Amino acid sequence: MAEISPASVPDRPRLPGWRGIVADWSSDQRAFKSASWKKAMMWIFLLSDTFIFSCFLIAYMTARSSTTVPWPNPSEVFGLEVFGTELPLLLIAIMTFVLISSSGTMALAVNYGYRRDRVTTARLMLATAALGATFVGMQAFEWTKLIREGVRPWGNPWGAEQFGATFFMITGFHGTHVTIGVIFLLIIARKVLRGDFDTGRAGYFTSRRGGYENVEVMGLYWHFVDLVWVFIFAFFYLW
């Protein structure tokens, strides 16, 4: 089937407020006038992913607030001893800053992509991937430490048994997202570096021409991973 070209449907001018939303949604063919199909689909995927993470966090809330056994104090559990002093949540704080830094480099990569600065875009994406990999590495370290201390999905030495189950489920699912993000960052960075988006080279699986918008769509996913961490950081580690 031939693609419905965006050009064949001229954008109507924006109406203010609700009238604009109703006009866009009730019009022919496209509800999302300025967003391409790939951007719209990424947003819709992220919405569904939000629901998955929400379900995990809500399950955690339910478990924590319904147990009669005291919840382990995350401030102490995730503390790290550095040069003899116990620092609460040190590793988690560093992980947070690493992930925020990676979000920043990704945002810059999107910007340089639209300027068609191939090399800078690829470099920034590789930096993002490196920071993401660092994050996953630190998470592996954290998991190892807790497992050595006796945390299991069915129990732990400090309190409510549900602690381990929710911890491994939530951070594991988030870590998986980061890992997948790193892999895709490397794939797209390679395409950018090779000039696929300048020469219009067809994608291997899709046989479609990509554009620098692919970098932005990749960025949406990456910022989402950072966004989820914001909620995990607040609700699981600090609450």
Min separation Cβ 90 and other proteins, Å: 9
177-216 positions binding other proteins, by CB under 8 A: 211-213, 216
Cα–Cα distance measured from residue 144 to residue 122, given in angstroms and rounded to the nearest whole number = 33
69 binds other proteins (CB under 8 A): yes
Q: Judging by beta carbons within 10 Å of its beta carbon (0-12, 13-18, 19+), is residue 8 exposed, middle or buried?
A: exposed
Which residue type occupies 230? V
Min separation Cβ 167 and other proteins, Å: 17
Q: Judging by beta carbons within 10 Å of its beta carbon (0-12, 13-18, 19+), is residue 1 exposed, middle or buried?
A: exposed
Q: Residue from 13, 65, 204, 206 that binds other proteins (CB under 8 A)? A: 65
Q: Draw the binding track, 21-60, toward other proteins (x: CB under 8 A; -: no contact).
A: x--xx-----xxxxxx---x--xx-xx--xx--xx--x--
CB 185 within 8 Å of CB 132: yes
Specify the residue, 65 or 148, whose C-beta has the smaller distance to other proteins: 65
Min separation Cβ 49 and other proteins, Å: 12
Specify the residue, 15 or 147, whose C-beta has the smaller distance to other proteins: 15
Q: Residue from 20, 134, 138, 193 that binds other proteins (CB under 8 A)? A: 20
219-238 positions binding other proteins, by CB under 8 A: 219-220, 223-224, 226-227, 230-231, 233-235, 237-238
Number of helices followed by number of strands (H, E) in the chain:
8, 2
Number of neighbours of residue 221 by Cβ within 10 angstroms: 18
106-165 positions binding other proteins, by CB under 8 A: 106-108, 110-111, 114-115
For the chain, the helix, strand and coil percentages under 3-state DSSP, each to the nearest 5: 70, 5, 25
Q: Residue from 41, 49, 72, 75 that binds other proteins (CB under 8 A)? A: 75
CA 69 distance to own-chain centroid: 33
Min separation Cβ 53 and other proteins, Å: 10
Which residue type occupies 11? D
Specify the residue, 147 or 200, whose C-beta has the smaller distance to other proteins: 200
Count of CA atoms in the C-beta half-sphere (13 A) of 127? 17
Specify the residue, 2 or 148, whose C-beta has the smaller distance to other proteins: 2
